[in-house]
Amino acid sequence: MIKSIELVDFLSHSDTKLEFKDGVTIFVGDNGAGKSSVIDAITYALFGKHTRSDVKSLIRRGTNQGYAKIEFSIKDKQYEAFRKIKNKSSNYLEAKFFETTNNNRIDIASGERKQYNESMKEEVEKIIGMDYKKLQIASIIEQGELNAIINSGPTDRQELLNNVIGIDKLDVASKYMLENIKKFREKIKTDLSYNDNDIETLTRNFDKYQQDIKETEPKKNQLELKQKQIQEELKGLQNELEIETPKIDKINQLELRKNELLKYVKERKRVIQQQISENERKIRDCEGCFEEIKENTGFEIKIQKVEQAVEETLKKIQEMSNQIASLKEKQVLASKLQLKDNKCPVCDSTVEKLNPIFQEEHIKDKIIKLQQDTKLKEKERDMYTQKRKEFEEKVQKTRDAESTLRAHSINTKEELIEIQKYTQIQKEKLSLTNNKDLKQISQIDNQAKLIFENILKLELETKGFREEEFLNLKKIIMEKQSELSQIDQEIGRMLEKIDLAKKEVEEIKKIISELKKVRKYILKLEKIEKNIFNKKGSVATSLRSWALNSISLKASEYLSSLNTKIQRISLSEKDITCYSNTEALHLKSLSGGESVSIALALRLGMASLLGSSNLNLMILDEPTTHLDAERKKLLVGILSQLSEISNSQTPMQFLIITHDEEIFEDSNVGQIYKFESSGEGTKVTALR
């Protein structure tokens, strides 16, 4: 039962506290006065649920925070639920749930921190015995929702009925039962790696493994016979191979020796060619050197004599050049000493002719004579120079010949002849290397002969060997070995498969035996869950049948009190049927007032069952809508009577929200609160 509700800056209320007693409490006032806000305060404080668009819209305009608090009692225990909303904070919600004893508070839950396994809503639901949805359906009849019970379909009606009579507890029991069955299966799965759901699969596996054993055994036996046959064939082939194998080694050696001979001869050929080239170069370089030396002896003395003659000629040429220069000076002077009237130009004495040394013509003839002599001497000089050049070339050839002979370490002509003979012998050896006959090639030197003797020996030892036959023998052996290996692997796989199948057969046999016991036990548990705890089981069906009958009887009693033409009502999971004195009436044929009367009767019939719930509360928001004045007063009387019905020593509590204040004037309603709008928020006055 609700003891008090406190709204501070919550919706239109600035600071409202409502005290409640047993029986019927009425909220009266105009629309928008804040009456229905009390419902939001109750559901928000208990469950954090409301009918507004956003949680912050619950804060009264112009304020930054607000809260709703409800105090209630259940089974002689006092509780307090409190929730605050802050408008400007990251942590804008605050919630507390207490049990109060002798003014002390015992903290039950704080907030909705599910990550820490804390949930105030869940704790409230456990104590009240309902969640928000169930309370909303069974205990809160909001404005305009009174007819929902008769307008709902069979599924919603069945769910509503389940909630009213507490069949949802069967859901909890069913859930726990199914969870326990699941955990039991998981435990079996952990222990045996299987559970009873796997029996059919295991049985199929059991049959499969047995079939595998049956099919594999004959195949294995056939392969073992074939394995023995191939092993015998392989033994004979390997003996033959052991005889022939040394020959293939000698064949390989024979090829190596042949290659060795060819390689050695090739190398010797390169060396001989190099030697021949070197000797031929010596012969070419030294050819005629001894003749050149012998022929050009004494030329150095001749060079000295020629050089002396050249020097004397140059000296003579220089003297004549000096004389020519001197004469040319005298010629200039003579040109100036000319007789004029047989008079001397110097002393003016009379002379017949000048001294020849002063005669220009005489000097000129003498200069010409000297120039001619100079040219003759220059020709003589050139002749001596040419001779010297020729002698020097002869001397240089001799020196070059001596230098070439020294370079090649040849001192005598006989040594050069020996080199020519040796080169001819090397050329003859070189001609042997062009032959493809190994015997001919081997004559190049003693080492080649020794290698050829080894070749002859190996050819004798491998005579009659056929490499193609030998390789074919090896190929056959490899094929037999490969076939034998495949058979060995296949037999191994079959043996492994048979062993595994036998182990699996034994293991599965044991597991199936255990799981059959498990299945027998689980089938019993599932039968109990299906028949007793399931909402569609026999227990739930019986409870609903009883509840439907009880609600129908109570609703019919209330209808008779409401003075309608409807005398009886029958409620089933699929339909609602109304009866007058003479006939059955369809719901659609009833007037609006009659429909509301039926809805109220059914709600009140359900409320009689709710007497056993924890909260024992029903809230009706504008329940008198569509009722005439007489039926409104009858409703008030019925509610008053209902509140006096004691169930588990706890009276039923009704909260009625209405704007029809006058219908309660002559009633024995315990409390009436009047709600009025004001500039400071909703104002609440206790009228009674």
Query: What mean pLDDT value characterizes the chain?
Result: 82
Looking at beta carbons, which pairs linking 335-340 to residues 24 or more positions away fall under 8 Å? Answer: 335/360
For the cut 90, the answer to whether the pLDDT of residue 9 exceeds it is yes
pLDDT value of position 347 = 65
Least confident among 35-49, 103-117, 233-247: 103-117
Region for 385 from its dihedrals, namely left if φ exceeds 0, alpha if ψ lies in -120 to 50, beta otherwise: alpha
Sequence-distant (6+) residues with CB within 8 A of 671 are 19, 20, 21, 23, 24, 25, 26, 686, 688
pLDDT at 408 over 90: no
**Nearest of 649, 657, 660, 608 to residue 18 by alpha carbon:** 657
Average pLDDT over residues 426-434: 79
Alpha helices, H only, 51-167: 120-128, 132-138, 148-151, 154-165
Q: How far is CA 71 from the centre of its chain?
A: 57
Cβ 41 vs Cβ 673: under 8 Å: no
Query: Which residue type, as a one-letter code, is found at position 332?
Result: V
Mean pLDDT within 563-574: 79
Q: What is the pLDDT of residue 593?
A: 66
- Measured CA to CA in angstroms, residue 232 lies from 123, 240, 443, 469, 685 at distances of 85, 13, 53, 21, 117
Amino acid at 32: G
pLDDT at 648: 41
* Percentage of the residues of the chain whose pLDDT score is greater than 90: 21
Amino acid at site 1 = M
What distance in Å separates the CA atoms of residue 36 and residue 28, rounded to the nearest whole number? Answer: 10
Q: What is the pLDDT of residue 490?
A: 92
Which of 123-127, 149-153, 351-355 is most confident? 123-127
pLDDT for residue 351 is more than 70: no
**CA atoms within a 13 Å half-sphere pointing along the CA-CB vector of 502:** 8
> What is the pLDDT confidence band of residue 647, given thresholds at 50, 70 and 90?
very low
Find which of 303-312, 333-342, 498-507 is predicted with most confidence, using mean pLDDT.
498-507
| Alpha-carbon torsion, ordered 20, 547, 634, 43, to 10 deg | 30
- The pLDDT tens digits of the residues spanning 457-500 come to 888 888 877 878 888 888 999 999 999 999 999 999 999 999 99
- Quick one: average pLDDT of 597-602? 77
Whole-number Å distance between alpha carbons of 95 and 108 = 11
For 285-322, the pLDDT digits (tens) are: 888 888 777 776 677 777 788 888 888 888 988 988 88
Q: What is the mean pLDDT of residues 596-618?
A: 71
Flag whether pLDDT at 679 surpasses 70.
yes
478 DSSP 8-state letter? H
pLDDT for 166 equals 66
CB-CB contact of 370 with 327 (8 Å): yes
Q: What is the CATH number of domain 1-131+658-688?
A: 3.40.50.300
Give the mean model confidence (pLDDT) for residues 210-230: 91
Average of pLDDT values for 427-438? Answer: 79
Which pLDDT belongs to residue 147?
66
Domain boundaries, the chain: 1-131+658-688, 204-288+425-467
Instruction: Mean pLDDT check: name the lowest of 90-104, 142-156, 227-241.
Output: 142-156
List b or e across 568-600, with b for residues whose CB sees 16 or more CB atoms inside 10 angstroms: bbbbbeeebebbeeeeebeeeebeeebbbbbbb
Write out pLDDT tens, residues 18-30: 998 877 888 999 8
Structure tokens at 288: 């005629």
- What is the torsional sign of CA 674, 675, 678, 683? positive
Check residue 450 and give its pLDDT: 92
Name the pLDDT band for 341 (thresholds 50, 70, 90).
Answer: low
Residues 359/351, Cβ–Cβ less than 8 Å = no
pLDDT computed for residue 404 by the predictor:
83
What 3-state class would DSSP assign to 67? Answer: strand
Give yes or no for residue 613 having a pLDDT over 60: no
Q: Is the pLDDT of residue 612 over 60?
A: no
Number of H helices, E strands in the chain: 17, 17
Q: Looking at the predicted structure, is the pLDDT value of residue 631 above 60?
A: yes
Coil, strand or helix at 651 = strand
Give the per-residue pLDDT at 262. Answer: 86
Average pLDDT over residues 137-144: 71
From edge to edge, which strands make up the β-sheet containing 576-579?
A: 568-571, 576-579, 584-585
pLDDT tens column, 89-122: 656 678 999 999 887 888 888 877 655 556 888 8
Q: How far is CA 117 from CA 121, 122, 126, 359, 586, in A?
A: 12, 10, 15, 156, 51
d(CA 591, CA 626): 10
Higher pLDDT, 207 or 538: 207
The pair of structure tokens assigned to 244 is 């022939």
DSSP designation for 345: T
For residue 165, pLDDT over 70 is answered with no
pLDDT reading at 649 higher than 60: no
Chain-centroid distance of CA 573 in Å reads: 56
Average pLDDT over residues 167-191: 84
Cα separation, 128 vs 131, in Å, equals: 8
When comparing pLDDT for 149 and 248, which is higher?
Answer: 248
